[in-house]
C-alpha cells in the first residue's frame, strides 16, 4: 500500500518514524519549508523518501507530485493547511486525518483549546476520512482520555493526545491494509464548531464565574495566552491554579503577592498565577513581574 504522509512539527516527525518502523511503504512526504518542517525533512531525507516542501498544498506542483506518486492512502498528521478537493480524489483508498477531539464535537483548528475552555472532562483523538468539509468526514476510529481539572492545552496535548494520536494513526493504517477500516458517518446534529483560539477569544472578563475564567486561562496555555491589561498594556497568564476561597476584593484585584505567584480575586474564588508575560517581554515568575512593573496588592488587572 503506497502511502503519502503530510504533516509538520514533532507530531508529523513521530508519525513518520512510527510508520517507517512498521515497514510501511512511504512513497512521499510533504511538510513546510520553514522550522515546522525541519524534523520531518531530516527524517525523510535520511530514510530516502521523496520529499516535497510546497508553500501551500493548493499549489499546482502538489497536484502534479500526487499524480506521479500514485498513492493508495494519504495520511494527514497535524496539517494546518487546507487540502483542495482535487487532492482528495487522487489516492485510490482515501485520505486519513488526525483530529484532536471527539468529533463531531469541537470541529475546527482549536479542538484541544475549546475542550478545556468549555470545561469538558473527556476528550480524545479522531481519525477520520477527509472530505471537502472541515472535519466532517466519516470516522475510522476514536480514542478517549480524561481531561484533568488542572490540565492545560499544552499538558493535554503533549502528555495524552500526542502519543495517543500516533497510536491511533498506526492502528488506522493497519485497519486500512486489512480491509477492515470502517467509515462511520458523523451525527451532524451533535456537531460543534468553534473559531480559532486566538486573541479575539482569549481576553479575560474578570467578573465572569471563577471556573470560566480559570478554564479560559488554562485553555489558552501555552498559546495564545489568556490576556488582560495592566497599566494600559497587555499581559498574559500561565500556570494557574484555582482556589475556591473567595477574597473580599473586586474581581481582577490583586489579593496577594508571594514568592513565585500572584493571586487575583475572582467573583467566587481566587486565581493563583505562576507565570506572567508582559507586552513585548518574556514569560517570568509572577512575583518577578510584579516587582519589575510596580504591581501591588490592591491594584487591578483590566485597567
Rounded to the nearest integer, the mean pLDDT of the chain is: 97
> φ and ψ at 163, to 5 degrees?
-65, -35
- For residues 18-33, average pLDDT: 97
Which helix (H) or strand (E) segment holds residue 4: the answer is strand 2-7
Report the predicted TM-score, pTM, of the whole model to 2 decimal places: 0.96
Per-residue pLDDT of 217-258, as tens digits, reads 999 999 999 999 999 999 999 999 999 988 899 999 999 999
Task: Return the pLDDT at 196.
Answer: 97
Per-residue pLDDT of 201-226, as tens digits, reads 999 999 999 999 999 999 999 999 99
Per-residue pLDDT of 94-129, as tens digits, reads 999 999 999 999 999 999 999 999 999 999 999 999
18: Cα within 13 Å, side-chain hemisphere:
22
In this structure, what C-alpha cell is assigned to residue 208?
465572569
In this structure, what C-alpha cell is assigned to residue 118?
468549555
Per-residue pLDDT of 44-64, as tens digits, reads 999 999 999 999 999 999 999
Higher pLDDT, 247 or 148: 148
Question: Cα 255–265–201 angle (5° rounding)?
Answer: 130
Task: Return the pLDDT at 59.
Answer: 95
Q: Are 254 and 264 in contact (CB under 8 A)?
A: yes
Task: Return the pLDDT at 303.
Answer: 72
> Using 50, 70 and 90 to split pLDDT, how confident is the model at 138?
very high
Give percent of the chain above pLDDT 70.
Answer: 100
HEC secondary structure over 194-260: CCCCCCCCCECCCCCCHHHHHHHHHHCCCCCCEEEEECCEEEEEEEEEEECCCCCCCCCEEEEEECC
> φ and ψ at 126, to 5 degrees?
-125, 135
Q: Is a pLDDT exceeding 80 seen at residue 284?
A: yes
CA distance 162 to 251: 36
What the chain holds in terms of domains, given with CATH numbers, is: 2-190 (3.40.50.170), 210-293 (3.10.25.10)
Amino acid at each position: 500500500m503506497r502511502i503519502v504522509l503530510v504533516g509538520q512539527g514533532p507530531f508529523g516527525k513521530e508519525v513518520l518514524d512510527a510508520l517507517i518502523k512498521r515497514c510501511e511503504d512511504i512513497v512521499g512526504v510533504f511538510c513546510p519549508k520553514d522550522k515546522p518542517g525541519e524534523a520531518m525533512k531530516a527524517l525523510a531525507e535520511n530514510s530516502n523518501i521523496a520529499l516535497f516542501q510546497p508553500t501551500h498544498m493548493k499549489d499546482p506542483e502538489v497536484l502534479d507530485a500526487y499524480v506521479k506518486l500514485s498513492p493508495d492512502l494519504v495520511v494527514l498528521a497535524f496539517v494546518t493547511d487546507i487540502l483542495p478537493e482535487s487532492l482528495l480524489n487522487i489516492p485510490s483508498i482515501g485520505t486519513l486525518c488526525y483530529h484532536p477531539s471527539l468529533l463531531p464535537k469541537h470541529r475546527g483548528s482549536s479542538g484541544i483549546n475549546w475542550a478545556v475552555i468549555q470545561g469538558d472532562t473527556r476528550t480524545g483523538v479522531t481519525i477520520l476520512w477527509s472530505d471537502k468539509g472541515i472535519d466532517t468526514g466519516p470516522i475510522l476510529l476514536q480514542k478517549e482520555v480524561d481531561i484533568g481539572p488542572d490540565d492545560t492545552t499544552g499538558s493535554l496535548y503533549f502528555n495524552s493526545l500526542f502519543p495517543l494520536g500516533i497510536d491511533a494513526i498506526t492502528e488506522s493504517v493497519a485497519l486500512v491494509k486489512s480491509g477492515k477500516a470502517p467509515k462511520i458517518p458523523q451525527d451532524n446534529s451533535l456537531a460543534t464548531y468553534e473559531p480559532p483560539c486566538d486573541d479575539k477569544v482569549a481576553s479575560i472578563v474578570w467578573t465572569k464565574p471563577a471556573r470560566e475564567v480559570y478554564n479560559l486561562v488554562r485553555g489558552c496555555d501555552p498559546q495564545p495566552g489568556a490576556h488582560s491589561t495592566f497599566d494600559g498594556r497587555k499581559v498574559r497568564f500561565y500556570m494557574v491554579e484555582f482556589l475556591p476561597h473567595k477574597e473580599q476584593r473586586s474581581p481582577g484585584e490583586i489579593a496577594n503577592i508571594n514568592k513565585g505567584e500572584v493571586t487575583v480575586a475572582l467573583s467566587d474564588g481566587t486565581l493563583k498565577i505562576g507565570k506572567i508575560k508582559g507586552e513585548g517581554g518574556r514569560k517570568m515568575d509572577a512575583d518577578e513581574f510584579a516587582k519589575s512593573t510596580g504591581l501591588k496588592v490592591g491594584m487591578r488587572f483590566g485597567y
